[in-house]
Amino acid sequence: MDILGQEEKWSLAVEAAGNQAGGQEAECGLPAAILDIVSDGKTAVRLYRQEDAAGKVVCEVYTTASEEPLILTAENAAKVRSLRLVWLNYRIELWADGRLADEEWPAGSCLTRSGVWDARLICSEEMVRARLEKGAQKTAEEPGEIADIRYWAPEPGRHNVGDCMPFSDGDTFHLFYLKDRHQHKAKWGKGAHQFAHISTRDMVHWKQHPVAVEITHQWEGSICTGSVIRAKGKYYAFYAVRMMDGSGARLSWAVSDDCIHFTKSEQYFTLQPPYETVSARDPEVFAGADGSYHMLVTTDFEDAQVRERNGCLAHLVSDDLENWRQEKPFLVPGYTDQPECSDYFEWNGWYYLIFSNYGTAKYRYSRTPFGPWICPEQEILDGLLYRVPKTAAFGNRRIAAGFLCIHPEGESYAGNLILREVVQRADGTLGTCPVKELRWEESRLQETVMLESGESGGYAQKRLPISGNSVKIEAKPEESCGNYGLILQAGDKAAWEIRVEPGLDAVGIYPAHSNLYYCPSKKILTQMKGLAGGCLLEISLKGDILDLCVNGERTLICRLQKGYADGESVSWSGFVKDGKVLFA
């Protein structure tokens, strides 16, 4: 089958045809069976509405590239009266009552299967009016402002925040991110990601901008993660292209004069052996202390000593940002997958390299620009479910941007934007805490509460005099104890436990009263020293998201049940096992 096509642009307009007496249009929407378009004897487009209360409209688009159709939907469309399907050759748009409902990115041809235009509408003219026309143009959406950036996503579950690429320019904090549709399922699973763009000057007020780097060719399976750099009076957005035909990924860049409107250079290059090329991605470009430009690329190193652990950051060097020469690997961390979404920066005399394995961020640090790199005792930057964060300066601070997956255990791609303040300790090691401008108003205990499990040991639990979805509680063991912590419950839903384990140097989130040893979890912080002396817990709940900060320098974010805290009052209890704890 043809993978690529150069079909003429076209559009399909559909309207409900029913009228009431007196010429008033009926309030009901489109019928269940709307129409089919047949091309070369085969179904090319099938448009129908599900017969349920929501009335979701489904559009199946068949092309010469695959037997599997691309599917676009308009949710909650029971009363929608007009649809418009737009084929732009590299992009498909579905509009419902003048609103962009969904989009896809095709390959191959749809209505030109035999090399000529061949399309026949099959519909009930009594129910709908349909018009198929050659020629179409992309309709630009008006960017707006974001009401609340905390845990934000354009349309959670359908249009999500993927890999983040923050960039600092003067007093403006730009955040480029991969615009994701349905957790990487677009374009037959290639992702069809593009660089979306938002920005702020104060972390509170955020503007949306036009898509910075978008798919403009059918052979582009996805615009993969990259980085932005300012040099030579311009802005360069570097990225990798995942190829539709499975060939080696192409590295490229787009250029801008204002950091808003980017133009693709249409210049491409690929890695060469001993680097693997197909999975190459995530170019991180920076100006080095040596006066050259450096690029780090996620891939495999074929000459690694242990082939099962050959994931690396390829190293390329350039004098002009256009011509690149390969060097030996910048880092081979020795894990069983590739180090993704690398981030390199200098901060207060220390040099840092952040990368993610299996989505979880780790870091190395050094006093010199190119190592030797120190692996800290606690190498994980945040919790296990905070995906692929990268950082940028904000004044003399650093802000990390990553995402929390839609799936509770992180077994999907993309979700909600998560911003973190990076904490730099005196010894150069890093931690994270909530961004101060984005903290929720926290409730404190109205009075202190002492809990003691008793002379014979055991367990004690008591409701705490505090309410709200955001709390700040200090727990102080007065003697050694087994474990202690908080239990939270939204309405009559299942309770959850924030369990502090001094003996294990761990803080975890579990179903209440579950057995730690039989409840493995990704909702855990390890190597938490000093918990026997107590800890400060800051917790925020929004919907199904629980956000925890311990001692102002370690954070953990996760999902509970869907809609867990929506419209619910949350109760809080303290507990202690085999000991005595003061809650304040």
Rounded to whole angstroms, the Cα distance separating 227 from 243 reads 19
Does residue 140 form part of some domain? no
Backbone angles phi, psi at 39, to 5 degrees: -130, 130
Tell whether 390 is covered by a domain. Answer: yes
Strand partners, 189: none
- In this prediction, residue 84 carries a pLDDT of 95
Please name which of 107, 115, 136 lies closest in space to residue 40, comparing C-alpha atoms. 115
3 in a structural domain:
no
The pLDDT, as a whole number, for residue 7 is 82
Q: What are the pLDDT digits (tens) for 487-544?
A: 999 999 999 999 999 999 999 999 998 876 656 688 999 999 999 999 999 999 999 9
The answer as to whether 300 is a domain residue is: yes
Contact 436, 442 (CB under 8 A): no
**Are both 67 and 157 inside the same structural domain?**
no
Q: What is the rounded distance in angstroms from the CA atom of residue 568 to the CA atom of residue 570? A: 6
Share above pLDDT 90 across residues of the chain, in percent, rounded to a whole number = 78
| Domain identity same for 14 and 60 | yes
Distance CA 11, CA 287 (A): 46
Q: What are phi and psi of 499, to 5 degrees?
A: -105, 125
Closest CA to 417 of 153, 73, 103: 153
Q: What is the mean pLDDT of residues 436-453?
A: 93
Q: 126 and 150: one domain?
A: no
CB 408 within 8 A of CB 494: no
- CATH code, domain carrying 404: 2.115.10.20
* pLDDT on residue 19: 44
Q: Which residue has the tokens 């030109």?
A: 112
Residue with the two structure tokens 């955020």: 206
204 plus 281 within the same structural domain: yes
Decide if pLDDT at 465 tops 90.
Answer: yes
Query: Which CATH number covers residue 578?
Result: 2.60.120.560
Q: Give whole-number Cα distances, 132 to 81, 119, 158, in Å.
A: 17, 9, 28
Do 429 and 467 belong together in one domain?
no
In contact, 206 and 199? CB cutoff 8 Å: yes
Residues 348 and 457 in one domain: no
For residue 273, say if its preceding peptide bond is cis, omega within 30 degrees of 0: no
E strands present in 33-153: 33-39, 42-49, 57-63, 66-74, 82-87, 92-96, 99-104, 120-123, 128-134, 145-146
pLDDT for 124 equals 72
Q: What average pLDDT does the segment 13-39 reach?
A: 71
Residue 363: partners with Cβ closer than 8 Å, 6 or more residues away: 352, 353, 354, 355, 376, 379, 381, 430
Give the gyration radius of the chain's Cα atoms.
Answer: 27
The whole-angstrom distance between residue 229's C-alpha and the CA centroid of its chain comes to: 21
The tally of domains found in the chain comes to 3
Tokens of 288: 């080095």
Note whether residue 141 is domain-resident: no
Q: Which of 508, 564, 503 is nearest to 529 (CA)?
A: 503
User: What local confidence, expressed as pLDDT, does residue 1 receive?
Assistant: 47
Whether residue 274 is preceded by a cis peptide bond, meaning omega within 30 degrees of 0, is yes
Q: Quick one: which of 281, 279, 277, 309 has its CA closest to 297? A: 281
pLDDT at 240 over 50: yes
For residue 439, report the phi and psi dihedrals to the nearest 5 degrees.
-70, 145
Least confident span in 267-276, 298-307, 477-486: 298-307
> What is the per-residue pLDDT for 24?
43
pLDDT in tens, 249-270: 999 999 999 999 999 999 999 9
Contact yes or no for 405/433 (Cβ under 8 A): no
Q: Beta-strand (E) ranges in 115-193?
A: 120-123, 128-134, 145-146, 159-169, 172-181
End residue of a domain, out of 85, 109, 134: 134
CATH number of 122's domain: 2.60.120.200
Residue 4 placed within a domain:
no
pLDDT of the residue at 27: 53
Question: What is residue 455's DSSP assignment?
Answer: T
114 and 218 both lie in a single domain = no
User: CA-to-CA distance for 107 and 340, rounded, in angstroms?
Assistant: 27
Query: Residue 155 above 70 pLDDT?
Result: yes
Based on the fold, state whether residues 119 and 161 are members of the same structural domain: no
- Helices and strands in the chain: count of H runs, count of E runs: 0, 42
Q: How far apart are CA 305 and CA 334, in angstroms?
A: 10
Is residue 225 included in any domain, yes or no?
yes
Q: Which one, of 426, 365, 432, lies nearest residue 399 by Cα? A: 432
Angle, vertex CA 365, rays to CA 363 and CA 367, nearest 5: 170
Is the pLDDT at 327 greater than 60, yes or no? yes
The domain of 55 spans: 10-134
Q: Measured between alpha carbons, how far is 284 from 378 in angstroms, rounded to an integer? A: 24
Cα separation, 584 vs 421, whole angstroms = 25
Are both 218 and 152 inside the same structural domain?
yes
In a domain, residue 502? The reply is: yes
Please check whether residues 300 and 423 belong to one and the same domain: yes
**Whether 302 and 405 share a structural domain:** yes
The verdict on whether omega for the bond into residue 106 sits within 30 degrees of 0, i.e. cis, is no
Residue finishing a domain among 101, 134, 167: 134
Q: Is 266 helix (H, G, I), strand (E, B) or coil?
A: coil
Residues 401 and 459 in one domain: no
Q: pTM for this one? A: 0.94
Query: Are 209 and 198 spatial neighbours (Cβ–Cβ below 8 Å)?
Result: yes
What is the rounded average pLDDT of the residues 217-241? Answer: 98
Task: Among 410, 438, 466, give the residue marking a domain's end.
Answer: 438
Mean of per-residue pLDDT scores for the chain: 92
Stated as kind and residue range, the H or E segment containing 293 is strand 293-300
Per-residue confidence (pLDDT) for residue 514, from 0 to 100: 83
The predicted structure's pLDDT at residue 287: 97
In the predicted structure, residue 20 carries a pLDDT above the cut 50: no
> Residue written as tokens 């209505």?
111
Instruction: Identify the residue whose tokens are 């998560």.
Output: 418
